[in-house]
């Protein structure tokens, strides 16, 4: 097979702004956001908070910073958050929660990253002992990145509230790709927001904005997060251009996520995985030699990532058309077959 055009399936973070998004960014009204004077940022924060039924939201440069602010609002130094073993906060944020805030993590292992209520209940450590780290929050990732874009059923998230409420702890939902969960499941965004004490969402993955995430919660939590965002170096000035990209994405790119999900199922089938097990836009494929598959695909112009020695991840997104998905499927079928 001859070389094909460059198709990047490493992540949905690789998208580039569309012409319409660039135009919206260029005409954005801006102000100094550290002074709270950027009207476009305010509009984005109010819009997203309203979508999820939360009191307030705060724009941040990255999802990792949003998660830092979220967990910090619930957990003090020397306390712990419970999360799934391959959760982004545990695996892909470089130990930031411990490095900056002295927060420890204990994990359960769920099938494809899912919530395991029995495991969580067994792990939970009330703040009544001088011997054990006190559990102060539970964190759930929806969709679950390394689980393969798994949608957490709303009922499973809601079922955590009795434990959370009984012990006065917090529930954090890492919703970097919650937009995909919403489109795939049909669950309204406000329903996803309701069980969470604090929620984080990302604009620069499936929605295709170049930069930005938000942390959502109570007005008091967000007011405190403003201070911590500045301490972490996340206070930005005339950032309305980036906020405008997020607003454009919400208006124009949300419903089209269903196309990415369809393309992901196409890729899964080509790689010998079960398309029915693909919830959203991420496909995780078990292979004998991940590095060999990555090299073989790259030689044909298709970029994929290795999650481990025998695991490859494929991620569909705004910049992958149906034709490109079909081309990538042919390349990957041959690459996986060796």
CA distances from 274 to 264, 266, 271, 278, 284 (A): 11, 10, 9, 7, 10
Give the residue from 213, 240, 167 showing the smallest Cα distance to 70. 213
Q: What is the pLDDT of residue 5?
A: 65
DSSP string, 200-233: EEESSSTT--SS-EEEEE-HHHHHHHHHHHHHTT
Counting Cα atoms < 13 Å in the Cβ hemisphere of 304 gives 36
Domain span at residue 82 reads 19-253
Please count the helices (runs of H) and the strands (runs of E) in the chain.
Answer: 15, 12
Q: What is the pLDDT of residue 127?
A: 84
**Chain-centroid distance, C-alpha 319:** 18
Q: Can you read off the two tokens belonging to residue 336?
A: 């996986």
**196 and 333 assigned to the same domain:** no
**278 and 325 assigned to the same domain:** yes
**241 and 262 assigned to the same domain:** no
3-state secondary structure 232-263: CCCCCCCCHHHHHHHHHHHHHCCCCHHHHHHH
**Chain-centroid distance, C-alpha 304:** 19
**59 and 88 assigned to the same domain:** yes
Tell me the C-alpha distance between 306 and 9, whole Å.
Answer: 11
**240 and 271 assigned to the same domain:** no
Percentage of the chain with pLDDT > 90? 96
With bands split at pLDDT 50, 70 and 90, how would you rate the model's confidence at 36? Answer: very high
CATH of the domain at 174: 3.40.640.10
Q: For residue range 181-240, what is the model confidence (pLDDT) as tens digits?
A: 999 999 999 999 999 999 999 999 999 999 999 999 999 999 999 999 999 999 999 999
**208 and 282 assigned to the same domain:** no
Q: Can you read off the two tokens belonging to residue 80?
A: 């712990």
Final residue of a structural domain among 201, 221, 253: 253
CATH of the domain at 269: 3.90.1150.10
Of 74 and 126, which is predicted with more confidence? Answer: 74
Q: What is the pLDDT of residue 2?
A: 44
Counting Cα atoms < 13 Å in the Cβ hemisphere of 258 gives 8
CA distances from 21 to 2, 110, 257, 258, 266 (A): 34, 38, 16, 20, 28
Please state the pTM of the whole predicted model: 0.95
Final residue of a structural domain among 253, 273, 296: 253
**153 and 167 assigned to the same domain:** yes
**96 and 142 assigned to the same domain:** yes
Q: Is residue 6 part of a domain?
A: no
**303 and 316 assigned to the same domain:** yes
Domain count, the chain: 2
**321 and 233 assigned to the same domain:** no
DSSP string, 295-306: HHHHHTTEE-EE
Q: Can you read off the two tokens belonging to residue 283?
A: 């496909």
With bands split at pLDDT 50, 70 and 90, how would you rate the model's confidence at 128? Answer: confident
Give helix 257-270 / helix 322-337 axis angle, nearest 10°.
Answer: 30
Percentage of the chain with pLDDT > 70? 99
């Amino acid at each position: 097979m001859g070389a094909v055009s460059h198709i990047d399936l490493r992540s949905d973070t690789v998208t580039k702004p569309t012409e319409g998004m660039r135009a919206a960014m260029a005409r954005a009204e801006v102000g100094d956001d550290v002074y709270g004077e950027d009207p476009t940022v305010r509009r984005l924060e109010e819009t997203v908070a309203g979508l999820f039924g939360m009191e307030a939201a705060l724009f941040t440069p990255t999802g990792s910073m949003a998660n830092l602010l979220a967990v910090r609002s619930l957990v003090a130094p020397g306390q712990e958050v419970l999360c799934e073993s391959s959760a982004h906060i545990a695996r892909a944020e470089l130990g930031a929660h411990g490095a900056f805030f002295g927060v420890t993590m204990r994990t359960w292992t769920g099938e494809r990253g899912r919530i395991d209520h029995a495991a969580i209940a067994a792990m939970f450590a009330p703040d009544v002992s001088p011997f054990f780290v006190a559990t102060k929050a539970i964190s759930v990732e929806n969709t679950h990145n390394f689980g393969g874009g798994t949608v957490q059923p709303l009922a499973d998230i809601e079922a955590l509230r009795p434990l959370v409420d009984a012990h006065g702890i917090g529930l954090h939902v890492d919703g970097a790709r919650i937009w995909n969960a919403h489109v795939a499941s049909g669950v309204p965004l406000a329903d996803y927001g309701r069980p969470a004490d604090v929620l984080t969402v990302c604009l620069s993955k499936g929605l295709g904005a170049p930069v930005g995430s938000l942390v959502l919660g109570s007005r008091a939590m967000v007011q405190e997060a403003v201070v911590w965002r500045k301490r972490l170096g996340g206070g930005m000035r005339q950032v309305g251009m980036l906020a405008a990209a997020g607003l454009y994405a919400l208006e124009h790119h949300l419903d089209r996520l269903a196309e990415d999900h369809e393309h992901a199922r196409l890729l899964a089938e080509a790689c010998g995985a079960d398309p029915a097990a693909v919830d959203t836009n991420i496909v995780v494929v078990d292979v004998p030699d991940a590095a060999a598959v990555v090299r073989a695909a790259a030689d044909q112009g298709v970029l994929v990532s290795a999650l481990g020695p025998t695991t490859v991840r494929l991620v569909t997104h705004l910049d992958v058309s149906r034709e490109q998905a079909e081309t990538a499927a042919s390349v990957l079928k041959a690459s996986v077959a060796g």
